[in-house]
């Protein structure tokens, strides 16, 4: 795609959204919740509506200097904001607006790709795809700017897939009259490969996982199959329900029909809510899975305590509401409804163990995934292990946890 074509695509996509509704105000709450929301905002002391995933984005491939430059442009904008205390709530599609600034960075990488060849060009396009994805973060259902950014992200990923030396195949799995779109990444197709099914949280796309394959799985000749969580990205036709692993289960059962993978050697990696889904799948389909890793997954604690849910940043409340397909939200009933998402309440972590060795990890002090949750998972998994990653060395912690995750899978898949 030439720079001009891309410029045109961007202008066409965003032309009608100069005054699009700003992300932090998209989710409608009951009037009775207004005071609680105002109080939460004032007491939180947070300067951003979005949870800034700096480490995760850098690990996924964003240049830290470019990232800080984008955040500085957003923070320094003189345009009006929906909420003055939140820097990333600049209204309208122009300088300082979250989607605008991240899209601009994506275009810069797309332009650089046009000046490079082969793998270097592919890497720039994968980077562009990631920037466009972050432009749409946290990907709320009715966020028009986010939907347009997602279209740019998907296109850049497709262009990158054509340029890279690795093989990326789009897999379509029939499910309830529609198709689940997954992407299979392979270092080569000389023989069926062990495969890891990867799923991210409720606020990032399957295409954000490229670096995990390139840097960690491809060198071990392990294939990666990415799937979006229900209600998001390619899986947006389906609302999220407490059966969080339904799409992954359908994909798992399709593996024997995919010639490039060895369906007797299947591993799982789930980040955040994807971890909840894949731990659940490890109980549901324990004879088809060799090993599972979860990072920062909400398992039981946060769902079992309505008080904790009410203390969550507004972005997370908006996210849960949009994934459940709610038109108008009542925080109190949402908190009650989330009880059903606890894997313990669902009966998985109470009596029967799974044969799948699960490594459950989270960063120290993680409010969504406390150590007690991971200990519970380890207890009900044969050879399971819980690991707390020290937040003192958080950057190293991220790398260490991934190295540990890959080693865990490698030991089970390659022996």
CB 249 within 8 Å of CB 279: no
Return the pLDDT at 309. Answer: 81
Return the pLDDT at 12. Answer: 53
Q: Which of 21-30, 253-262, 263-272, 369-378 has the lowest mean pLDDT?
A: 21-30
Return the pLDDT at 14. Answer: 55
Return the pLDDT at 324. Answer: 87
User: How sure is the predictor about 178, in pLDDT bands with cuts at 50, 70 and 90?
Assistant: very high
User: How sure is the predictor about 391, in pLDDT bands with cuts at 50, 70 and 90?
Assistant: low
Torsion over CA: 91, 202, 233, 408 (sign): positive
Residue 210: phi and psi, rounded to 5, are -55, -45
Q: Which of 34-43, 139-148, 156-165 has the lowest mean pLDDT?
A: 34-43
Placement of tokens 């380890």 in the chain: 378
Q: Which two tokens stand for residue 382?
A: 């044969």
Dump pLDDT digits (tens) for 257-277. Answer: 999 999 999 999 999 999 999
Residue 396 has pLDDT above 80, yes or no: no
Return the pLDDT at 352. Answer: 87
Placement of tokens 């004032």 in the chain: 42
Return the pLDDT at 118. Answer: 94
In whole angstroms, give the CA distance from residue 316 to residue 232.
14
Return the pLDDT at 57. Answer: 92
In whole angstroms, give the CA distance from residue 112 to residue 107.
9
Return the pLDDT at 394. Answer: 59
User: How sure is the predictor about 389, in pLDDT bands with cuts at 50, 70 and 90?
Assistant: confident
**Exposed (0-12), middle (13-18) or buried (19+): which is 58, by Cβ within 10 Å?**
middle
Domain 166-300+342-414 maps to which CATH number in 3.10.20.340, 2.60.40.1190, 3.40.50.1820, 2.60.120.1440?
Answer: 3.40.50.1820
Residue 18 has pLDDT above 70, yes or no: no
In whole angstroms, give the CA distance from residue 131 to residue 79.
22
Return the pLDDT at 210. Answer: 96
Q: Which two tokens stand for residue 63?
A: 């240049």
User: How sure is the predictor about 392, in pLDDT bands with cuts at 50, 70 and 90?
Assistant: low
- Helix H, strand E, coil C: the string for the chain is CCHHHHHHHHHHHHHHHCCCCCHHHCCEECHHHHHHHHHHHHHHCCCCCCCCCHHHHHHHCCCHHHHHHHHHHHHCCCCCECCCCCCCCECCCCCCCHHHHHHHHHHHHHHHHHCCCHHHHHHHHHHHHHHHHHHHCCCCCCCHHHHHHHHHHHHHHHHHHHHCCCEEEEEEEEECCEEEEEEEEECCCCCCEEEEEEECCCCCCHHHHHHHHHHHHHHHCCEEEEECCCCCHHHCCCCCCCCCCHHHHHHHHHHHHCCCEEEEEEEEEEECHHHHHHHHHHHHCCCCCCEEEEECCCCCHHHHCHHHHHCCCHHHHHHHHHHCCCCEECHHHHHHHHHHHCCCCCCCCCCCCECCCEEEEEECCCCCCCHHHHHHHHHCECCCEEEEECHHHHHHHHHHHHHHHHHHHHHHHCC
Q: Compute the average pLDDT of residues 22-29.
A: 92
Dump pLDDT digits (tens) for 58-92. Answer: 989 999 999 999 999 999 999 999 999 999 999 99
Q: What is the CA radius of gyration of the chain?
A: 21
User: How sure is the predictor about 5, in pLDDT bands with cuts at 50, 70 and 90?
Assistant: low
In whole angstroms, give the CA distance from residue 206 to residue 58.
16
What percent of the chain shows pLDDT beyond 70? 94
User: How sure is the predictor about 8, in pLDDT bands with cuts at 50, 70 and 90?
Assistant: low
Q: Which two tokens stand for residue 286?
A: 């324990």
Mean pLDDT of the chain: 91
Contacts of 381 (CB under 8 A, 6+ apart): 282, 292, 353, 354, 356, 357, 358
Dump pLDDT digits (tens) for 185-215. Answer: 999 999 999 999 999 999 999 999 999 999 9
Q: Compute the average pLDDT of residues 367-386.
A: 94
CB 225 within 8 Å of CB 173: no
Return the pLDDT at 11. Answer: 53
Domain boundaries, the chain: 166-300+342-414
What percent of the chain shows pLDDT beyond 90? 74
Nearest in space to 107 (alpha carbons), one of 17, 18, 20, 10: 10
């Amino acid at each position: 795609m030439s720079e001009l074509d891309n410029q045109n695509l961007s202008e066409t996509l965003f032309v009608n959204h100069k005054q699009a509704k700003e992300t932090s105000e998209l989710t409608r709450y009951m009037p009775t919740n207004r005071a609680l929301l105002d109080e939460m905002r004032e007491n939180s002391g947070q300067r951003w509506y979005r949870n800034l995933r700096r480490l995760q984005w850098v690990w996924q491939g964003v240049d830290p200097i470019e990232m800080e430059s984008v955040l500085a442009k957003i923070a320094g904008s003189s345009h009006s904001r929906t909420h003055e205390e939140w820097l990333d709530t600049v209204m309208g599609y122009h300088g300082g607006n979250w989607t605008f600034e991240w899209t601009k960075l994506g275009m810069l990488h797309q332009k650089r790709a046009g000046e490079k060849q082969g793998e270097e060009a592919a890497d720039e396009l994968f980077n562009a795809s990631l920037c466009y994805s972050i432009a749409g973060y946290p990907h709320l259902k009715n966020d028009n700017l986010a939907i347009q950014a997602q279209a740019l992200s998907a296109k850049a990923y497709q262009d990158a897939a054509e340029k890279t030396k690795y093989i990326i195949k789009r897999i379509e799995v029939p499910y309830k009259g529609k198709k689940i779109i997954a992407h299979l990444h392979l270092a080569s197709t000389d023989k069926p490969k062990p495969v890891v099914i990867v799923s991210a949280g409720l606020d990032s796309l399957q295409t954000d996982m490229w670096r995990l394959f390139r840097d960690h799985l491809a060198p071990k000749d392990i294939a990666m199959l990415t799937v979006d969580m229900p209600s998001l990205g390619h899986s947006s036709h389906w609302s999220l329900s407490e059966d969080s692993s339904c799409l992954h289960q359908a994909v798992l059962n399709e593996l024997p029909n995919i010639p490039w993978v060895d369906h007797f050697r299947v591993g799982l990696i789930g980040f955040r809510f994807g971890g909840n889904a894949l731990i659940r799948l490890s109980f549901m389909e324990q004879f088809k899975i060799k090993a599972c890793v979860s990072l920062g997954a909400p398992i039981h604690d946060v769902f079992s305590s309505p008080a904790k849910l009410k203390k969550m940043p507004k972005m997370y409340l908006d996210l849960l509401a949009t994934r459940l397909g709610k038109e108008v939200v009542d925080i109190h009933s949402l908190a009650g409804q989330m009880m059903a998402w606890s894997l313990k309440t669902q009966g998985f972590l109470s009596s029967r163990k799974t044969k799948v060795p699960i490594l459950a990890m989270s960063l120290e002090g993680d409010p969504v995934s406390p150590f007690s949750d991971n200990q519970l998972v380890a207890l009900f998994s044969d050879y399971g292990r819980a690991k707390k990653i020290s937040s003192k060395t958080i950057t190293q912690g991220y790398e260490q946890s991934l190295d540990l995750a890959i080693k865990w899978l490698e030991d089970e898949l390659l022996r």
